[in-house]
Structure formats: C-alpha cells, structure tokens
A and B are shown apart, each in its own frame.
Chain A
Amino acid sequence: AQSVTQPDIHITVSEGASLELRCNYSYGATPYLFWYVQSPGQGLQLLLKYFSGDTLVQGIKGFEAEFKRSQSSFNLRKPSVHWSDAAEYFCGRGGATNKLIFGTGTLLAVQP
C-alpha cells in the first residue's frame, strides 16, 4: 500500500534559520506529491505540489521542495524561517484518480 513517512514529529528552529522538513513516500508510479500547512484550529493550506517536470518546486510563503526519485523523498525547505511559519506541516501523496494520503505531520516551533 502507498504510504507517506514524515520522520520528524516535532522540530524547533530559530527565527531566521533555514528549515528542512523530511518526507518519504513509498515506491510506485510517478507520484503526485504535496505539502500542506495547518495552523492551530485551521484548515489545510496548499504550499506546493509536484506532478512532473522540474524536480525543484517553488511554493507560496517562500517554501520550496525537491523531488528525488532515487531517495523517494520530497523534502520541504525554506532558507529563512519567520515566526509566522510555526504550524503543522503535512506531506501528502496522491495520484491521477487516487485519494491523497498524508504523513503524520511535523510540528514546527520557531524560537525568537
């Protein structure tokens, strides 16, 4: 069965520091990969998505992610974190007709 793994449950970074959130997906046909962000009590906001083509994907709020087929990874990065980035981040895998499967999420805390 398809699966998504986010190995880091909780990450704390200092404001202004760089950020990388890890995501691995189970092997399969070319996946559709997504990153969503959820602030407390809020819905899921799409940060970026990868379907095909350029493996480095730019998203909103200064985020980017790189699809690496050899590592089955789709890690999310941001060069300089802002306090407003504190939230929970979910990696997801979908397909042309498939449901979207989420990882367990990574809770990001930002220290001043």
Chain B
Amino acid sequence: EPEVTQTPSHQVTQMGQEVILRCVPISNHLYFYWYRQILGQKVEFLVSFYNNEISEKSEIFDDQFSVERPDGSNFTLKIRSTKLEDSAMYFCASKLMGYTFGSGTRLTVV
C-alpha cells in the first residue's frame, strides 16, 4: 500500500536555528498538508498545499514557517528560527480521496 514518507524521524535543534522537515507524499495525490501535535495534545492543522501554492493556513503558520514542493515529489516544511514551543511531532499528509499520514518527525528544540 502506498505510504507517505517523512524524514528525519527525530530532529534535535538549537533555538534560533532553521530546520527543514521533509515529506514524500503519495505520487498521484493532489493535496498536501502539514499538521503538528504538541506532546499530549490534539493534532493541529498548519497548512494545506494544492496546485503548487498554499490553499489554506492556520494562525499557527506564521512568517516563521514556509512550505515548498521543490521537485514535484518532495514536500518540505521549513521553520526559519525555531522556538522552544515549536517542539512537537510534525505530520505530513497527502490526499486524493482519503487522507494518508506519514509517521511523523519529532522535533525537539533545545
């Protein structure tokens, strides 16, 4: 069964550093998403991406965040200057009909 692949599975970074989280969505899917889950909390929507542009973003997705689909297969989330409160599990998802999630990247900001 096709999968959404996320790398790395765990990343530790210093506060103020830039991080890039990578995702390979399912190849024939059209919609792409990033979600985040702070430890013990609900899964929160960050951003959706369709037709090579952002279609919707949440209040969380401020100027520190950006997304790209640089080569038609990868889908990346960049956090420009990480803060302690950015520590969370970040999930990528892609959608044709149903939503398929990757296994997540655990980001720890120290």
Asked if B65 is at the interface of the complex by the 8 Å CB criterion, the answer is no
Known: A43-B102, A97-B55. A103 touches B42 (CB 8 A): yes
**Contact residues on A (Cβ < 8 Å of other chain), bracket:** 20 to 34
A89-105 to B contact mask, C-beta < 8 Å, 1/0: 01010100111111111
CB of B1 to closest CB in A, whole Å:
10
A27-43 to B contact mask, C-beta < 8 Å, 1/0: 00000001010000111
Q: Which of B32-77 contact A (CB under 8 A)?
A: 33, 42-45, 48, 50, 55-56
Report whether A97 and B97 are in contact in the complex, using a CB–CB cutoff of 8 Å.
no
A-B contact count (CB 8 A): 48
Q: Which of B56-110 contact A (CB under 8 A)?
A: 56, 91, 93, 95, 97-104, 106
Partner of B33, one of A41, A100, A105: A100
- Chain A residue numbers with a CB within 8 Å of B100 are 46
Report whether B43 and A90 are in contact in the complex, using a CB–CB cutoff of 8 Å.
yes
- Chain A residue numbers with a CB within 8 Å of B42 are 90, 102-105
Q: How many residues of B contact A (CB 8 A)?
A: 22
Report whether A43 and B103 are in contact in the complex, using a CB–CB cutoff of 8 Å.
yes
In the assembled complex, the Cα of A94 lies from the Cα of B97 at a distance in Å of 10
Asked if A51 is at the interface of the complex by the 8 Å CB criterion, the answer is yes
Report whether B104 and A46 are in contact in the complex, using a CB–CB cutoff of 8 Å.
no
Report whether B102 and A99 are in contact in the complex, using a CB–CB cutoff of 8 Å.
no
Q: Which of B's residues lie within 8 Å of A, judged by CB?
A: 31, 33, 42-45, 48, 50, 55-56, 91, 93, 95, 97-104, 106
Q: Which of A's residues lie within 8 Å of B, judged by CB?
A: 34, 36, 41-46, 49, 51, 90, 92, 94, 97-105
> Which A-B residue pairs are the 7 nearest by beta carbons?
A43-B103, A44-B101, A102-B43, A104-B42, A99-B45, A100-B99, A99-B48
